[in-house]
Structure 1
Amino acid sequence: MEKNKNLGILFIVLSAFSFAWMSTFVRLAGDLPSVEKSFFRNLVAVGVAAFTMTRSKEKIVMGKGNLKFLILRALFGTIGILGNFYAIDHLVLSDANMLNKMSPFFVILFSYLILKEDLTLVQGICVAGAFIGSLFIIKPTFANANLVASLAGLCGGVAAGAAYSMVRVLGQRKCSGSLIIFFFSAFSCLTTLPLMILNFEPISAMQLLYLLLAGAAATSGQFCITAAYFHAPAREISVYDYSQIIFTAIIGFFLFGQVPDAYSIFGYVVILAMAVVMFLYNNGKLGKKKENA
């Protein structure tokens, strides 16, 4: 059991490392529209997901009544990617990634609103605390020249939280995981294609390479995080996903000379503290241990 947990931790850290490089390659691709970056990033995922589905011996099942949830998952996921990519292009990398990492807290909120799951006092405090922490990163004043990018990053985190809530619904309704990934990636490519054509910016061979590498890194991250949750429950290892902030901060410093300001660092500390509290609470290490925890 302990071995499985250690493997889960290893895979989720590898996933965080992969997603950190996805952000890096998106940034290195330069001044291209977010929809163009999103299209090429998801094009790789479509190919890998389609290959996986054709090679898999597992029966691909959509399930009755799941189409609307697949569409909602894909729609929110696409909005999440566009918001995240816009933030990556205009903010310090670690700021953009931390705002995206607000998604687990919004999963809790949407699970309460949509799935009617219980929202405990501790969970409510953690969600509120994480939101307050995000304000130190966003710095919502007109003096902040990057306010629009910060809000886009937060909206990306909110949309990602809604998308993951839809994944939870689909999982409960026995929809195939490979189909969920393929549907989302294909939907994202199809919806961004017209916008990309209308606002197409010429792309160099090096930019294309960076975007394909971003897609490969994102796909690697998806496979690693799937493997992580296969080996251990989310409640036991999810906090390690925040190692992505450490990776992006290091990469951002050495490649782009980026250093987060004091307000952002304080926001990181608050959000990470709320994540740790949630982690301890979910594992029954805070207060009275829950039954069946």
Structure 2
Amino acid sequence: MGNKEKGILLLLVSALGFSMMAVFVKLSGDLPTIQKTMFRNLVTAVIAFSMVMVYKERLWGRWENQKYLLLRSTLGTLGIVFYFYAIDHLVLSDADMLNKLSPFLLVIFSALFLKEKAHTFQLLAVLIAFVGALFIIKPSFHVDLVPYGAGLLSAVFAAGAYTVLRFLGGKESFATVVFYFSFFSTVVLLPFVIFFYEPMTVKQTVYLLLAGSFATLGQLGITAAYKFAAAREISIFFYSTVVYTSIFSFLFFDQLPDLYSIVGYLIIFAASLYMYWHNKRVE
């Protein structure tokens, strides 16, 4: 198996990990979104801490990078809170696909804040992707629109976090960044969890622990995948999460996306494929 094939396989495993995380978050039931987020990140923090210790990395990163690590952690925390809210209130695959708008937003944010040139084909892909998002959201100016807004905000904040990560580049190790983010999120959300705490059953606790474990699998998988192959060569395969979440929505929750949502998925995937091929040509 060549490096590209290894990268694709790891990316598919990563996508499965993040999809299973979403399933267990939804299965954990009617708990506060912030409580779910904190428990998910607590598990990741423990695993990341062990990685930092094993590989003898910096626990808190370099002093000169603190403001960027804090910004990345803040944006990432908000992104997960909004994503989990969307998961709880939407068809699983709808929430996942709205969150997958983040690579398109990353193009805009990188141009605005990192002064990276945005090619015409990238801007066109962004526009096409947002048309697809409208098919999923089906705007009606009704209160039911709130979860879709949360899904969009999850993509916005995720793209912001990725923009900061691009700025950091190789200045900090992956284990350091993940631990810093997970620990920050856990500490910041803890007071809210204490104030709004809802008692959990053993089953709900197990579900949230599994959500955290699969989230870590997803993060490790995507990091390892991009060590074997460049993002421009394999990133398109990460959209397999939508296939997984569509199947899991039906199996676990008896939910299926409607026709408009399916059209939206296809449009967003087509925009991603269009940007993927043009990025390869540019390279």
- TM-score bin, normalised by smaller chain: over 0.9
Distance 2:75 2:131 in 1: 23
- Which residue matches 1:228? 225
- Which residue matches 1:198? 195
- Which residue matches 1:46? 45
Residues 1:80 and 2:79 aligned together: yes
- Which residue matches 1:154? 152
Tell me if the contact between 2:57 and 2:175 (Cα under 8 Å) persists in the aligned partners: no
Tell me if the contact between 1:90 and 1:146 (Cα under 8 Å) persists in the aligned partners: no
Tell me if the contact between 1:8 and 1:237 (Cα under 8 Å) persists in the aligned partners: yes
- Residue deviations 1:85-132, cap 9 Å, x none? 000000000000001111111111111111000001000011111112
Tell me if the contact between 1:61 and 1:175 (Cα under 8 Å) persists in the aligned partners: no
Unaligned runs of 5+ in 1: 285-289
Distance 1:213 1:186 in 2: 18
Residues 1:106 and 2:109 aligned together: no
Pairwise CA distance, 1:61: 8.0
Q: 1:58 to 1:199 in 2, by over 3 A?
A: closer
Q: Where in structure 2 are the equivalents of 1:12-91 lying within 5 Å? A: 12-57=11-56, 62-91=61-90
Aligned mate of 1:242, from 239, 242, 245? 239
Q: Where in structure 2 are the equivalents of 1:136-285 lying within 5 Å? A: 136-143=135-142, 146-172=144-170, 174-284=171-281
Tell me if the contact between 1:86 and 1:149 (Cα under 8 Å) persists in the aligned partners: yes
Tell me if the contact between 2:59 and 2:180 (Cα under 8 Å) persists in the aligned partners: no
Q: Which amino acid letter does the alignment assign opposite residue 38 of structure 2? A: F
Q: Where in structure 2 are the equivalents of 1:125-136 lying within 5 Å? A: 125-136=124-135
- Residue deviations 1:202-249, cap 9 Å, x none? 111100000000000000001110110010000000000000000000
Pairwise CA distance, 1:65: 2.4
Distance 2:252 2:112 in 1: 41
Distance 2:21 2:53 in 1: 26
Tell me if the contact between 1:91 and 1:146 (Cα under 8 Å) persists in the aligned partners: no
* SS of residue matched to 2:219: helix
Distance 1:169 1:18 in 2: 26
Length-normalised TM-score, structure 1: 0.94
Pairwise CA distance, 1:269: 0.8
- Residue deviations 1:42-85, cap 9 Å, x none? 00110011000001045668345211111110011001100100
Distance 2:141 2:114 in 1: 37
- Which residue matches 2:114? 115
Distance 1:54 1:25 in 2: 28
Question: CA RMSD of the aligned region, Å?
Answer: 1.3
Tell me if the contact between 1:235 and 1:279 (Cα under 8 Å) persists in the aligned partners: yes
Unaligned runs of 5+ in 2: none
* SS of residue matched to 1:141: coil
Pairwise CA distance, 1:140: 1.8
Distance 1:94 1:60 in 2: 35
Pairwise CA distance, 1:151: 0.4
More displaced stretch, 236-245 vs 197-206: 197-206
- Residue deviations 1:178-215, cap 9 Å, x none? 11111100111011111111111111110000000000
Distance 2:85 2:112 in 1: 28
Q: Which amino acid letter does the alignment assign opposite residue 146 of structure 1? A: D
Distance 2:224 2:100 in 1: 20
Tell me if the contact between 1:40 and 1:212 (Cα under 8 Å) persists in the aligned partners: yes
* SS of residue matched to 2:2: helix
More displaced stretch, 45-54 vs 57-66: 57-66
Distance 2:136 2:116 in 1: 29
Distance 2:34 2:68 in 1: 23
* SS of residue matched to 1:229: helix
* Identity across the alignment (%): 48
Distance 2:258 2:67 in 1: 42
Length-normalised TM-score, structure 2: 0.97
